[in-house]
A and B are shown apart, each in its own frame.
Chain A
Amino acid sequence: MTHSPSPHAFPRREFLKAGGAIIIGFTFCGVSYGQEGADFVAFAGGSDQPDPRQLDTWLAIHADNTATIFLGFVELGQGSTTALLQIAAEELDLGMNQVTSVRLDTNRSPNQGATAASAAIARGGPRLRAAAAEARQTLLTLASRRLNVPIGRLPASNGIVSVVEDPKQSITYGQLLGDKPFHVTFTGTAPLKPVSAYKIVGARVPRNDIPDKVSGKYVYMQNLRVSGMLHGRVVRPRGQSAYADGARVLKVDESSIKDIAGVQIVRRRDFIGVVAPNEWDAVRAARQLKVTWSPARTLRANTGVHEQMRAAKTIDSVLRESGDVTAALGRATHRVSETYRGPYQSHAPFGPACALAQVTAESALIMCSTQNAFDTRAQLSQVLGMPVGKVRVQYYEGSGTFGRSCYNDAAQAASIMSQETGKPVRVQFMRWDELGWDNYGPPHLAEVRAGVDSHGKIVAYEYRGWQHVWSTTETSQQLAQGTLPAESDDGVARQLNKLNLASMYDIPNVRLVNHRVPGINGYLKGANLRSPLDISFSFASEQTIDELAYLSGFDPLAFRQQNMTDGRWLAVLNAVAQAAKWTPRKAALRLSAARVVAGRGIAMGTHLSSYAAAVAEIEVNKETGRIVAKHIYGALDAGLAVNPAFIESEISGMLVQATSRMLKDEVTFSDSNVTSLDWNSYPVLRFEECPEVTTIVVQRMDQKSSGAGEEALCSAAAAIANAFFDATGVRLREYPMTPSRVLSALKL
């Protein structure tokens, strides 16, 4: 089923990037995601990339009866490149050992937009499935002609097509097409295998990247070397200033590195780098080069950022309005009205960004770890002053990035240095570059009011939220071209998340007001950090719900159950409660005078289209203020789980990362610069602090697959916050819940 979408059908700007976008899709409906009925499968084509309307863009059949699948998504450690192969193998009737993929390359991979928003399976799966089905149908048509038997009597298995009455009469895909192109238009109309016949999809196939990763054979971006290349490092102030300030060079003292032989300074306006044949020389030179920067003191320190946003001239929109919140609050038996704060947090990839560029007068090849190679290419074309068609981007996996960290910045820096020197340049950021010049997850301020009636029914809910927009210009481009940075304020991930904010509850009077803060003046660079802003939303929203339960005298689980009717939400909530052996009681009923007290909390949440719930068991040391997460349970319904083992692994990682983000992660800055620049000043959860985890995948073979890479994060974080109240009888309304915040809250 193919139909033409209306222009507003693209929820993310990525799909509009390539000029003259050609869209082939199944069901496009509206700008919303899964739960609101959308099933969008979008990608763009154009003259500078492989034509998505050709089946050969999607896969190739080889003479040895194997297939290469050209994936439009990248491996980030989530297992998607194995799971996508499961989908392709299933529909092609091939075994898993007969399918491989190649690294994403803008010159030969289909443009599927970003590997972001948990989209690889949800968005990429249906398209790949259709392509594989069409390939299978084409192969069966060829077999039918060769064997002179109708298609209906030609079952296929492991790439062997045989005649149903006489299985000895057979031919392989390799024999039919071996290494020749299909030359078939991809229509998306081939019949699909029924879900009931699935053997590979839904199975716990092991990930194909793990053996090489543990043996040391895997080539990460940081491992890549080419002959004749130089090592480059960027030279910037330690820690970024306010976004619009960038960094302005007053003076470069070249003599400060004259003792390091073979080093060359690369300068383009305020962009400064050093290159050297020897990596240690480049590292030393970047550290030693004396550059005088124009002072910038336009930041408020991180302690003042929420008040700065609250006082800003904002662009406001009502994202949801039903009933009359104010009137309902007036009639409510119990009311709450509180303010919540969330910090800037860093992507903090474990290995800093790295890229290798080979730029000549005619063309450019850039190897990097981008989540969106086509978007990266478009930006590089601007930085290099070269048409898009001359710029080629190849993906090499780096370390887990969780959104737009510095990977584009590093790719641009390498490109500039290569263009200036005429040699291939490998740039690796130092730890302080990565943590200091990240596009951080923006801070959030929430004012929430809610009320409950005498029966424990939530009658009113109002959420007003402030957050600033995202920066879209990478630092290298900003410094090299001297342009005022651009920002992006559109898209669901930059505003209040309607799907996450109490949408799981049946509340008659609801009001969601988004206060968009222009981000250019006096803020840090912002971008999508895994499950953008949802931890802040759930921290505020699920504590509000919990507080209503407490005021009404209900057990937090029972209170949620009685305020919900959606079967999928109830199923994850009940699944996690059961796993945690939740016994009903009101919160904060077991307060004690002991030094270390224990508590449990429950919460729900999502990012876009899946359903998650979590239970946290924690201990609080009232003398030190230290919180220890003992055990976190997480349940996730992501529709049809293509590989339940991968989703368990993702949930496990999310429960741990959520603990880190709730208890530790926080970007700090003064009035001039970011000051959290290493793992001491930007602490993350450590091995000894790690909770035990229990993961539950709710398999839904009858539902379409939805995201599994971010959706369980926010419920786990909010469950920890609720557990703190259970343990202490005190609410923390700002995170991370550090010892100092805990101690000052307990003193009040």
Chain B
Amino acid sequence: MASEIQIEVNEQFHTIAAAPDTPLLYVLSNELLLTGPRFGCGLAQCGSCSVLVDGVETRSCVTRVAAVKNKSITTLEGLPSWYAKQKGLSATPALHPVQQAMIDEQALHCGYCYNGMIIKAAELLSKVPQPTVTQIRSAMDGHLCRCGTYPRVLKAIQRAAQTEVSK
């Protein structure tokens, strides 16, 4: 049965009516009409639906909406603002450095998996600002890309990390 649940997404509070076992992804897509997180497998195997829950990369396709009450959810759309807050910036940039690096590297093909790629990379850099190649490959291993753009994702993450150094 649907019940009223309050969730915080991209620094805004929403009251939604949903069965408590509804996966967060369906709430984000259908109630909040967010287009960043997308369905890929519904099994937490691919990373297409990833969001940050209190800064931790989480698979929204298997996360019950009731489990994220009182937690702060950030989607791809809210990533620049999340980053500004994290870094104590006075203004929110148009894009998170990882997003900008993906453009600079012209990394993607279809880009469907890039929601998860970017969310995961942002999480990684928030914890390890200067990751090694091994750390990047290991952190990103749970995110699949069928187009085969891993080498460019790797380069883009390195570029984003480098941007932070040169700032």
Contact with B along A393-428 (1 / 0, CB 8 A): 000011110100000000000000000000000001
**Which residue of A has the minimal Cβ distance to B38?**
A222
On whether the beta carbons of B23 and A280 are closer than 8 Å, the reply is yes
Residues of B within 8 A of A645 (CB): 106
Interface-central residue, B95, B99, B112, B137, by most chain A CB under 10 Å? B112
Residues A311-367 near B (CB distance < 8 A): 348-352
Contact with B along A8-38 (1 / 0, CB 8 A): 0000000000000000000000000000000
Contact with B along A213-257 (1 / 0, CB 8 A): 111111110110100000000000000000000000000000000
Question: With A655-B148, A657-B148, A678-B43 in contact, do A687 and B33 touch (Cβ < 8 Å)?
Answer: no
On whether the beta carbons of A428 and B106 are closer than 8 Å, the reply is no
Size category of the binding interface on chain A: 35 or more
Contact with A along B146-164 (1 / 0, CB 8 A): 1111111110000000000
From A430, A649, A685, contact of B42 by CB (8 A): A430
**Count of chain B residues near A, Cβ 8 A:** 55
From A220, A278, A279, A283, contact of B35 by CB (8 A): A220
What 10 A-B pairs have minimum CB-CB distances, sorted nearest first?
A656-B148, A77-B110, A77-B109, A399-B112, A216-B36, A213-B111, A216-B76, A400-B110, A690-B150, A653-B148
Residues B86-129 near A (CB distance < 8 A): 94-95, 99, 102-103, 106, 108-115, 118
Residues of A within 8 A of B132 (CB): none
On whether the beta carbons of B109 and A687 are closer than 8 Å, the reply is no
**A158–B64 Cα gap in the complex (Å)?**
54
From A398, A652, A653, contact of B112 by CB (8 A): A398
B68 smallest CB distance to A (angstroms): 15
Query: Is A579's beta carbon under 8 Å from chain B?
Result: no
A371 smallest CB distance to B (angstroms): 12
**A223–B115 Cα gap in the complex (Å)?**
13
Query: Is A211's beta carbon under 8 Å from chain B?
Result: yes
From B29, B30, B141, B151, contact of A656 by CB (8 A): B151
On whether the beta carbons of B40 and A350 are closer than 8 Å, the reply is yes
From A215, A397, A653, contact of B147 by CB (8 A): A653
B136 smallest CB distance to A (angstroms): 8
On whether the beta carbons of A687 and B146 are closer than 8 Å, the reply is no
A682 smallest CB distance to B (angstroms): 10
**A690–B23 Cα gap in the complex (Å)?**
31
Query: Is B8's beta carbon under 8 Å from chain A?
Result: no
On whether the beta carbons of A216 and B151 are closer than 8 Å, the reply is no
On whether the beta carbons of A222 and B39 are closer than 8 Å, the reply is yes
Question: Could you list which residues of chain B lie within 8 angstroms of chain A, going by C-beta atoms?
Answer: 18-19, 21-23, 26, 29-30, 33-36, 38-43, 45-46, 48, 75-77, 94-95, 99, 102-103, 106, 108-115, 118, 137-138, 140-141, 143-154
Residues of A within 8 A of B35 (CB): 216-220, 223
For the residues of B in contact with A, the DSSP-based class is loop
B4 smallest CB distance to A (angstroms): 15
B62 smallest CB distance to A (angstroms): 12
From B48, B106, B110, B141, contact of A686 by CB (8 A): B141
For the residues of A in contact with B, the DSSP-based class is loop
Residues A28-86 near B (CB distance < 8 A): 76-78
From B99, B113, B147, contact of A657 by CB (8 A): B147
**A225–B146 Cα gap in the complex (Å)?**
25
**Which residue of A has the minimal Cβ distance to B33?**
A225
Question: With A350-B145, A430-B42, A657-B148 in contact, do A214 and B33 touch (Cβ < 8 Å)?
Answer: no
**A222–B35 Cα gap in the complex (Å)?**
9
**A430–B30 Cα gap in the complex (Å)?**
17
Residues of B within 8 A of A491 (CB): none
Residues of A within 8 A of B147 (CB): 77, 350, 400, 653, 657
On whether the beta carbons of A211 and B103 are closer than 8 Å, the reply is yes
On whether the beta carbons of B144 and A652 are closer than 8 Å, the reply is no
**Surface stretch bound by B, among A202-210, A440-448, A479-487, A700-708:** A202-210
A642 smallest CB distance to B (angstroms): 15
On whether the beta carbons of A206 and B106 are closer than 8 Å, the reply is yes
Query: Is A190's beta carbon under 8 Å from chain B?
Result: no
